[in-house]
Chain A
Amino acid sequence: MQKMISKMAPKFPILIWMGFMIVALAFVIGFFNSQTAAAYFSESKVVRETTLLAERASIESTNLWLPYLKFLGLGMVLGGIVMALRVILDNLMQAGGKVLANLPADKRPAVPAAPWYGRLMPVVMMLGMLIFIFALIVSLQLASTARAVFANPLPVIDAAGAGTALLAQVQTIHATSAWLVPFKFFGIATEFLAILMGLATIAYVLKAQTEMLKKGVQAARTSMKQPKPVKQQEKAPVAETVAA
C-alpha cells in the first residue's frame, strides 16, 4: 500500500487543482444563488410566501449543500498538500540512501524505520476525504428535503402540526444540520492532522539523517586512520589476524 501511495503522491497537483476548481465552482454557484435571493427579496412578503416557491426552495436547498461542496474542495487542496509532503519525504529518504551508498556496506549505519505517524499519514488524509464526501452526500439529501418542504407556501409550512410529514421534514433539516456543521470541521481537523503527521515525519527524517551522517563521518574517519597494511589484513581470516 505504501508503494502504491508513493506512486500516486507525485500526482498531487491534480488533487490541488481539482480542489481549487471545486471551491471556484462553489463561488460561482453562490453568486447565482445571491442573485436569486436578491430577486426574491425584491418582491413583497405576500408574493414571496405564496407565489415564488421555486425560488425560495432553490435558495434554501443551495444554502444547505453548498458549504459542504466548498469544504470538499478545501479538503482536496489539503489532501494535495499531504501528498506533496509525502513526495518531499520520499525524495529525502532516497537522497539519504544515495549519500550513505558512498560508504562501504560494512561501515554503513543502519537506516531507521519510518515512524508510525509517517506511515499513517496518507490513511488519515483519505479518512478526511471520506468525511467530506459523506458530509456532502448527507447535505445533498437534506437539500432535497428542503426542496420538498419549500415547495409548500410558507403559511402551510407554519401550520404543519405535530405528526405531519412536513413537520418531520423540518425536524430532519434542523436536527441533521446541528451535527453536520461540526462534522465538517472534524473533517478539516483530520486533514490538518495528516499535514502535522507529514511535517513531524520530515522533521524526524532530517534529524535521523543528521545523526546517520555523524555516524558515517565517524566510521569514515576510523577507517581512514587505519594504516594500509591493516586494510590488506581485512581480507585474511579473523583467527589469523588475531594470532598475528
Chain B
Amino acid sequence: MNASQTAKTPYQLKLFPILTILGWILIMLALIIGLVVLTPTAINYFGANSKEVRDAAEAGSQLLSQISILASIPLWLEPLTFLGVAFFICGIALEFSVIPSLVKMRGDAMAKAFPLIVKLGS
C-alpha cells in the first residue's frame, strides 16, 4: 500500500471550507443588510407618512431616496443570497466527489488487510 496515497488530502477537502465560509459570509451579509438597511428604511418610509404624502414626494426628496432603497436593494439582495446558497451546494458537491476515492482507498486497504486478518484468526 502506498503511504502517500492515504496521507495526501484531496483538493476538494481543502476547497470546500473556503466555499462554505464564502456562502456563510454572503448569507450573513444579506441578513445584516435586511436588518440594518432595509428594516429602518421601511420603518421610516411607511411609519411616518401617509400614502398621499409618499406619492407626492418630489425628485431629490428623502422619501424618494427611501423608496428607491426599498425597491432596488431587494433586487440584488435575493440573487446574492442564492449565490450564497450556491456556494454551500458547491461545497457539498465537492465533498460528495471525494467520497468515492476515499471509499476506493479504504477498499484497497481492506483487500490487503483481510487475508492477514484471516491468517491471524486461524
Contact = CB atoms under 8 A, between A and B. Distances in A.
Interface residues of B, number: 58
Interface string A173-196: 011111111110110110011011
A24 B112 CA distance: 49
A9 to B, nearest CB: 19
Contacts of A104: 120
Contacts of A189: 23-24, 27, 84-85, 88
A125 B117 CA distance: 39
Contact of A203 (B24, B28, B42, B95): B95
Interface in B14-46: 16, 20, 23-24, 27-28, 30-31, 33-35, 38-43, 45-46
Contacts of A186: 27-28, 31
A177 B43 CA distance: 11
Contact of B112 (A167, A179, A217): A217
Nearest to B35: A179
Given A182-B77, A193-B88, A102 B121 contact: yes
Contacts of A200: 13, 16, 95
Nearest to B77: A182
Contacts of A176: 39
Contacts of B6: 207, 210-211, 214
A10 B40 CA distance: 45
Interface of A: 99, 102-104, 157-162, 167-168, 170-171, 174-183, 185-186, 188-189, 192-193, 195-196, 199-200, 202-203, 206-207, 209-211, 213-214, 216-217, 220-221, 223-224
12 contacts: A102-B121, A160-B50, A162-B47, A162-B49, A177-B42, A178-B41, A179-B39, A182-B33, A182-B34, A196-B20, A199-B99, A220-B120
